Structure 1
Amino acid sequence: MPSPAASPIAPLLRFLPTLILGIAGGALAFAVNLPLPWLLGAMIATTAVSMAGVRLRSPGRGRKGVLVVIGVMLGSAFTPELSGDLGLWSLSLAVMLVATAAMMAFSVWFSQRIAGHSRETALYAGVPGGVSTVTVMAMASGADLRVVGMTHAVRILVLLVAIPPVLQAIGHVDLGSATPDLSQWLWLPGPVDTAWLVAAGVGGLWLGRWLRLPNALLFGPALVSAALHLSGVTHAAVPPTLLALAQVLIGISVGVRFAGTSLAQVGHALVMAVGQALVLLALAVVAAWAGHLLTGYSAAAALLAYMPGGAPELSLVALTLGIDPAFVTTHHLLRISVLVLILPGLLKTLERPES
């Protein structure tokens, strides 16, 4: 007779208290009308409990499923009406790449010269995105993995917390109208639409892995869903309840990264990571305003598109707030693709000892 620990449901049961905490945090944030309530509420609650010394469970495989769902949702933003705009994004994409290069240059300099980290640690902690790929690469180096992981986690945390006030400061978006009314929570798509959404998720999962896409679980389903929606084959949408659950799980995924983190032990690294993240946020705001002036696209959309890293988180924010998610997703896909292609050679060059 199999033991309870061997049961497939055992991981879910172990994760359940963390999930309940995340949902409670999201519900409280929703009740007090906090912007991005399910994402920020779950993230703040789990971060606070983690920093207090309580070990919380990660969503594990649940996060992988959420990435597929988010990818399908993001693809649904690519409607036939967008086909005429796709060619106009090239200038904005170029601005984003220039901004990414500037952010990485600053991050590496700051981490090495100001924070006092080793060259290897500064390199991997300074990459503005692709945290999963960067962490794997850092394992084969002499980098301090705790600093690398914390820097990326703090960056995403700071960016997500800063998004509502920064968006309100630059205008172009009404955060108050972005949260669905309670009467909308029970809406579900019909059987045909559901079948198309499931097909996009399953087909995208296979396509992403076959093409070896960066973050295949997210961008594979997004590509298939986008093709289906751009072609007009389907106009299926994802229900708000599933969108809220996706936000909760992504918020939890950020919060649990601080498990076992003691302020007394990592105070210096934490302060340095926050300082670096704030400067990167400022660079993203400047780049977004420049992109807005050059292209005419919304400064809010440009900001979410140019922010360093956190493709699932930032794309989900764009989808939740209705801030041109197709535009934002395309920028993050290009950013991650370029980083994955050039990182190995770039890091090998920068890691060479000085003569």
Structure 2
Amino acid sequence: MRDAMERSLVGLGRFLPTLALGLGGGGLAYALHLPLPWLLGAMLATTVASLAGARLRSPGRGRQGVLVVIGVMLGAAFTPEMTGGLTLWGASLSMMLLATAVMMAFSVWFSRRIAGHSLDTALYAGVPGGVSAVTGMALDSNADLRVVGMTHAVRILVLLVAIPPVLQAIGHVDLGSAMTDPAQWLWLPGPADAAWLAGAGVLGAWLGHLVRLPNAMLFGPALASAALHLTGVTHAAVPPTLLALAQVIIGVSVGVRFTGTSLAQVGHTLVMAALQALGLLAIAILAAWGIHAGAGVSLPAALLAYMPGGAPELSLVALSLGIDPAFVTAHHLLRITVLILLMPVLLGACRRLSA
């Protein structure tokens, strides 16, 4: 145990410069009153440094702990007073699955015909979500893991950068109102509420692994916290300081994925991934607009729910901006579950068709 603790401390020490860079980027974005400052500031600072050749360290297991915190925060959005009936949610979930099928078809076509990737690479790089699970599944295939990883990383980067201007363009969200009052930074829940939230995180993570939930460290605590809040056991929220720190670490986690990436060597892959991401974003916008016009679903909520991938990142954005986090989280959980279950079937069918 002592050796494990020493390794953890060494890993933390090596990660501190990266964390400091992320905090600096987030703090600068906050001072400039940019939207989603802690997330986008940290992500852009570490992405630029990575592409410039800096050897940044990943949060490692620290990211798992942050996912637990985010899950508990998301669960707090499930309240007995939740608006929107089951019929509305059902219509939106159905539209999301239809949009996901269109996104998958477009991604595979684009990767094969435009980018020139192999079938296995096109399939795993084209999955609109579940990057951790998809990358793990790709290990047992003939996919080019570097292309798969970069495609997903670039997609998340493009989506997060696009969110503020897209939301402002549709005119339904005042991003400035989402800024936290500096006087609220020191707020903390009471001891009893803090104990309930901590228990939801620990028990939810354990149960998530036990029942093999996709992204168990995120969705397990989210479901446990949701149960506590829906039943009225607690109404506590997570302190805004933790929310800001979670945004920084998630932003850093995206930025460090480009460490060791040479623009000269992988420029084609990066450009193809960015173009593919823009195509998927267009599909998400059209689907969100369709369900908004047809069923009256909130356009910003539908947009974040339909965006292809990055469940922790997009759920965190919904939470940070107050855009129906429960709605967004439920959609991403269903999509990831369906995709993981269908991937072996899709891979086999595509291989038979191309044979």
The answer to whether the superposition gives a TM-score over 0.5 is: yes
> Structure 2: any 5+ residue segments left out of the alignment?
none
In the superposition, relative to structure 1, how do residues 179 and 266 fare at CA in structure 2: closer, same or farther (>3 Å)?
same
Deviation of residue 4 (structure 1)?
Answer: 11
How do 1:124-273 residues align onto structure 2 when only pairs under 5 Å count? 124-273=124-273
Q: Distance in 2 between matches of 1:353 and 1:87?
A: 37
Is this contact kept in 2: 1:79–1:230, CA < 8 A?
yes
Residue 80 of structure 1 aligns to a residue in which SS? coil
Q: Paired residue for 2:36?
A: 36
Is this contact kept in 1: 2:88–2:297, CA < 8 A?
no
Q: Paired residue for 1:24?
A: 24
Q: Distance in 2 between matches of 1:84 and 1:21?
A: 41
Q: Distance in 2 between matches of 1:118 and 1:4?
A: 40
Q: Distance in 1 between matches of 2:73 and 2:6?
A: 33
In the superposition, relative to structure 1, how do residues 5 and 237 fare at CA in structure 2: closer, same or farther (>3 Å)?
closer
In the superposition, relative to structure 1, how do residues 234 and 18 fare at CA in structure 2: closer, same or farther (>3 Å)?
same
Deviation of residue 317 (structure 1)?
Answer: 0.1
Q: Distance in 2 between matches of 1:279 and 1:8?
A: 41
User: Counterpart of 2:266 in structure 1: which amino acid?
Assistant: V
Deviation of residue 249 (structure 1)?
Answer: 0.3
Residue 9 of structure 1 aligns to a residue in which SS? helix
Q: Distance in 1 between matches of 2:323 and 2:245?
A: 19
- Name the TM-score, length of structure 2 as normaliser: 0.97
Give percent identity, aligned residues only: 74
Q: Distance in 1 between matches of 2:303 and 2:84?
A: 22
Q: Distance in 2 between matches of 1:123 and 1:19?
A: 33
Q: Distance in 1 between matches of 2:313 and 2:344?
A: 25
- After superposition, the C-alpha distances for 1:284-313 in whole angstroms (9 at most, x for unaligned) are 100000111122121000000000010000
Q: Distance in 2 between matches of 1:18 and 1:218?
A: 23
Residue 81 of structure 2 aligns to a residue in which SS? helix
- After superposition, the C-alpha distances for 1:199-233 in whole angstroms (9 at most, x for unaligned) are 11011011101111000000000001001101111
User: Counterpart of 1:341 in structure 2: which amino acid?
Assistant: L
1:118 corresponds to 2:141: no
- After superposition, the C-alpha distances for 1:81-117 in whole angstroms (9 at most, x for unaligned) are 1276345300000000000000010000001100111
Deviation of residue 8 (structure 1)?
Answer: 3.1
User: Counterpart of 1:232 in structure 2: which amino acid?
Assistant: G
Q: Paired residue for 2:291?
A: 291
Is this contact kept in 2: 1:171–1:300, CA < 8 A?
no
* Range moving further from structure 2, 339-348 or 259-268: 339-348
Is this contact kept in 1: 2:305–2:331, CA < 8 A?
yes
The alignment's C-alpha RMSD in Å is: 1.5
- After superposition, the C-alpha distances for 1:165-192 in whole angstroms (9 at most, x for unaligned) are 0000012111000011111111111101
Residue 35 of structure 1 aligns to a residue in which SS? coil
Report how many aligned residue pairs link the two structures: 354
Residue 63 of structure 1 aligns to a residue in which SS? helix
1:71 corresponds to 2:71: yes
In the superposition, relative to structure 1, how do residues 165 and 15 fare at CA in structure 2: closer, same or farther (>3 Å)?
same
Q: Distance in 2 between matches of 1:252 and 1:243?
A: 14
- Name the TM-score, length of structure 1 as normaliser: 0.97
Is this contact kept in 2: 1:4–1:10, CA < 8 A?
no
Deviation of residue 330 (structure 1)?
Answer: 0.4
Is this contact kept in 2: 1:70–1:312, CA < 8 A?
yes
Q: Paired residue for 1:323?
A: 323
Q: Paired residue for 2:15?
A: 15
Deviation of residue 140 (structure 1)?
Answer: 1.4
Deviation of residue 347 (structure 1)?
Answer: 1.2
- After superposition, the C-alpha distances for 1:114-165 in whole angstroms (9 at most, x for unaligned) are 0111111111111111111111121111111111110000000000000000
Is this contact kept in 2: 1:107–1:127, CA < 8 A?
yes
Deviation of residue 348 (structure 1)?
Answer: 2.1
Q: Distance in 2 between matches of 1:149 and 1:3?
A: 31
Q: Distance in 1 between matches of 2:222 and 2:35?
A: 25
In the superposition, relative to structure 1, how do residues 302 and 9 fare at CA in structure 2: closer, same or farther (>3 Å)?
same
Is this contact kept in 2: 1:205–1:216, CA < 8 A?
yes
Q: Distance in 2 between matches of 1:231 and 1:172?
A: 31
- After superposition, the C-alpha distances for 1:51-93 in whole angstroms (9 at most, x for unaligned) are 0011100000100000000000000000101276345300000
Q: Paired residue for 2:50?
A: 50
> Structure 1: any 5+ residue segments left out of the alignment?
none
Q: Distance in 2 between matches of 1:86 and 1:24?
A: 43
